[in-house]
Amino acid sequence: MPFNTALTRKLGIKIPVVQGGMQWVGYAEMASAVSNAGGLGLLTALTQPTPEDLRKEIRRCKTMTNKPFGVNLTLLPAMVPPDYPAYARVIIEEGIRIVETAGNSPGPVIKQLKAADCIILHKCTTIRHAQSAVKLGVDFLSIDGFECAGHVGESDITNFILLSKARQTLKTPFIASGGFADGQGLAAALALGAEGINMGTRFMATVEAPIHINIKKSIVDAQETDTELLLRKWRNTSRLFANKTALAALKIEKEDTTGDFAKSGIGAYMSGQRGRQVFINGDPDYGVWTAGQVIGLIHDIPTCEVLLKRIETEAAESTMKVAKLFTEEAKL
């Protein structure tokens, strides 16, 4: 029995599962595999060094799938920020009509994309930020709970509360992000009012994920306790895999007395380039890399097709199982 949610109808997908826009993971191999399996794959714009490189990756992805796919464009704090309008322009020129946005001050980029009739999914870690995004005219909100990988925000609100609060307060449809790996989670998200889910860490442990097999095995072998929060002191809290580099950085953060990021020395441990090398050389301790608490729920490395079919089946079975708990008398 096919899904029929606001997300599947609007995006033209079969299964209401969106692949997270992961840095150094969201390449054409990943996005096309998810889209071909019935979900929504996302290329990660800033994984590409220039807007023109993004154009090439979009065109490469088009040769690998004829299904809908989108692009993630995350606005990050930086001394010299990327040319976000140029990335957005390439997205528009290449005919991409589904964009996941996230990060700081997204208004101008969202306005640029909406003017081209793009469907916007905006990621938020608080209801307050979600309400601001609604005013910008986004089509869907991606509600990101504290369980998630990467930037968790500063409110520490988990999805069980955050999703129910979204249901109570928001009229714009939303999807659930952070803590999802299976069909039971999808069924729970739908019950809480979401129109689908976003998965990042779970898709890293798939055959098609363009990362080293050792990292996939590290995810499978990990427990839900194997993540750490870093950069809380600087209000840029990120959830990372608890490897040797992350734990060394955490020690520096805890012992720092300057309160100054540059003077603390932690920056050398937080190198994004070293994190990228982890996915290439297969050494899980070489640099920091993001992972959600859902890491403890991942026990295999399937293809995206097998994973999404399994999620579809599990969600249907879970929903029917709950429905059977109601007696005929209760139904009346």
- Same domain? For 184 and 150 the reply is yes
Q: What is the pLDDT of residue 329?
A: 57
Backbone angles phi, psi at 98, to 5 degrees: -125, 120
Q: CA angle, corner 316, sides to 311 and 322, nearest 5? A: 125
Is 107 within a domain? yes
Q: What is the pLDDT of residue 330?
A: 55
- Same domain? For 129 and 43 the reply is yes
- Same domain? For 208 and 232 the reply is no
The CATH number of whichever domain residue 90 belongs to comes to 3.20.20.70
- Same domain? For 185 and 236 the reply is no
The helix or strand, by DSSP H or E, that contains position 55, with its residue range, turns out to be helix 51-62
Provide the domain limits for residue 54: 6-212
- Same domain? For 206 and 121 the reply is yes
d(CA 75, CA 179): 23
d(CA 22, CA 14): 22
Tokens standing for residue 6:
């606001």
Non-local (6+) Cβ contacts of 12 within 8 A are 68
Which amino acid makes up residue 144?
D
Is 42 within a domain? yes
Cα 110 → chain centroid: 18
What is the number of structural domains in the chain?
Answer: 2
Is 264 within a domain? yes
Q: For 2, left (φ over 0), alpha (ψ -120 to 50), or beta? A: beta
Q: What is the pLDDT of residue 183?
A: 98
- Same domain? For 96 and 162 the reply is yes
- Same domain? For 111 and 238 the reply is no
Is 331 within a domain? no
- Same domain? For 251 and 208 the reply is no
d(CA 70, CA 43): 6
- Same domain? For 67 and 118 the reply is yes
Is 205 within a domain? yes
205-243 pLDDT per residue, tens: 999 999 999 999 999 999 999 999 999 999 999 999 999
Do residues 258 and 233 make contact, with C-beta atoms less than 8 angstroms apart? no
- Same domain? For 129 and 255 the reply is no
Non-local (6+) Cβ contacts of 70 within 8 A are 31, 40, 41, 42, 43, 96, 97, 98, 99, 100, 119, 121
Do residues 133 and 153 make contact, with C-beta atoms less than 8 angstroms apart? no
Tokens standing for residue 84:
């976000």
Q: What is the pLDDT of residue 328?
A: 61
Is 152 within a domain? yes
- Beta-carbon count within 10 A of 221 CB: 12
- Same domain? For 52 and 100 the reply is yes
Non-local (6+) Cβ contacts of 64 within 8 A are 28, 29, 32, 36
What's the chain's length in residues? 332
- Beta-carbon count within 10 A of 219 CB: 23
Domain end marker among 235, 265, 281: 281
Is 315 within a domain? no
Which amino acid makes up residue 170?
L
- Same domain? For 201 and 250 the reply is no
Is 316 within a domain? no
pLDDT tens, N- to C-terminus, the chain (332 residues): 689 999 999 999 999 999 999 999 999 999 999 999 999 999 999 999 999 999 999 999 999 999 999 999 999 877 788 999 999 999 999 999 999 999 988 999 999 999 999 999 999 999 999 999 999 999 999 999 999 999 999 999 999 999 999 999 999 999 999 999 999 999 999 999 999 999 999 999 999 999 999 999 999 999 999 999 999 999 999 999 999 999 999 999 999 999 999 999 999 999 889 999 999 999 999 999 999 999 999 999 999 999 999 999 999 999 999 999 987 655 55
Number of H helices and E strands in the chain, helices first, is: 15, 11
